[in-house]
Amino acid sequence: MMQEVKNTANTVILVSTGTVCGRRSRQTAQSELYARALSRFGAAAVLDGGYGSEETLAERADALVLSGGGDIHPAYYGKQLTGMDTSVDQQRDEREWELLRVFCARRKPVLGICRGIQVIDVFFGGTLFQHLATAHVHENTIHTVVTAQDGWLRPLLGESFPVNSYHHQAIRTLGAGLHVTAVSDADGVIEAVEHERLPVWAVQWHPERMVHGLCRDTDAEMKALFCDFLARIPEKTEK
């Protein structure tokens, strides 16, 4: 199959990762679908190993993808663990917080996916529902989202479309500077945001699992979302 490639001139995207406990050491783990989706549209994905200078990574990478995963430790938004929190990884929390800080400081594009939208919201001062009353709508299901008329998604994906859903937490109060750009048709849960001043966008679903020829959780196609994100990365200049 021929890939549809955008000329992104050696664009490198840093993708955040989770960690798992191996027999002899902690291991970095992430779905290959993030890298495959970005590669399909012309960019190279590099997985963050969890160590080393965040400043150096932000200097050398062109953009950041905050990927999906477990729950953020609720201490980040003034709450305590409830016992319903899943796969809390404080090392990952700290790492993604710093990565987001340095990429925003350099005004480099950031795309949050699933857990990523929650990290972004909390980073800007928002809070989360620790367990949705309507979690059955969002845990391992397909449901419809409706896009905001004036948001970034409406021109790309239309007014409504089906998305995959793998979460039990969600944005409760918006962080400073964030605007809602899509909500769940079933219960109004926030499904996408964008920042009013910074190049930061995020969705609650998994677009890397909605690319034709790669993975199709739903009939909706996320090519336009990825291509739009890559198009927002400034062109590299000769040094």
Look up the CATH number of the domain holding residue 16: 3.40.50.880
Alpha carbon 185 to its chain's center = 20
Query: What pLDDT is stored for residue 1 in this prediction?
Result: 36
User: Tens of pLDDT along the chain (239 residues)?
Assistant: 334 444 555 899 999 998 887 778 878 889 999 999 999 999 999 999 999 999 999 999 999 999 999 999 999 999 999 999 888 999 999 999 999 999 999 999 999 999 999 999 999 999 999 999 999 999 999 999 999 999 999 999 999 999 999 999 999 999 999 999 999 999 999 999 999 999 999 999 999 999 999 999 999 999 999 999 999 999 875 54
Which one, of 138, 85, 116, lies nearest residue 203 by Cα?
Answer: 116
* DSSP helix/strand/coil, 167: coil
Alpha helices for 90-222 (secondary structure H): 90-105, 115-123, 135-138, 154-157
pLDDT tens per residue across span 147-159: 999 999 999 999 9
User: Does residue 39 sit within a domain?
Assistant: yes
- Quick: pLDDT tens for 206-234: 999 999 999 999 999 999 999 999 999 99
Task: Establish if 80 belongs to a structural domain.
Answer: yes
104 is known as an active-site residue: no
Phi, psi of 208 (to 5 degrees): -70, -15
pLDDT value, residue 231: 96
Structural domain harbouring 26: 12-231
The pTM for the full model equals 0.94
Catalytic residue among 73, 96, 114, 167: 114
Please provide the DSSP assignment of 17-33 as one string. -EEEE-SSSEEEE--TH
Examine residue 3 and state whether it is found in any structural domain, yes or no: no
- Quick check: is 7 in a domain? no
Active site residue 208: yes
Query: Would you give the end-to-end CA distance of the chain in angstroms?
Result: 36
Q: Is 239 part of a structural domain of the chain?
A: no
**Position 2 in a domain:** no
User: Could you tell me the strand order of the sheet in which 190-195 lies?
Assistant: 44-47, 12-15, 63-66, 110-113, 200-203, 190-195, 178-184, 139-147, 160-166
**Number of structural domains in the chain:** 1
Q: pLDDT value at position 10? A: 85
Catalytic residue chosen out of the listed positions 54, 191, 194, 208: 208
Half-sphere exposure of 182 (CA within 13 A, CB side): 26
Say if 5 falls within a structural domain.
no
Domain membership of residue 72 (yes or no) is yes
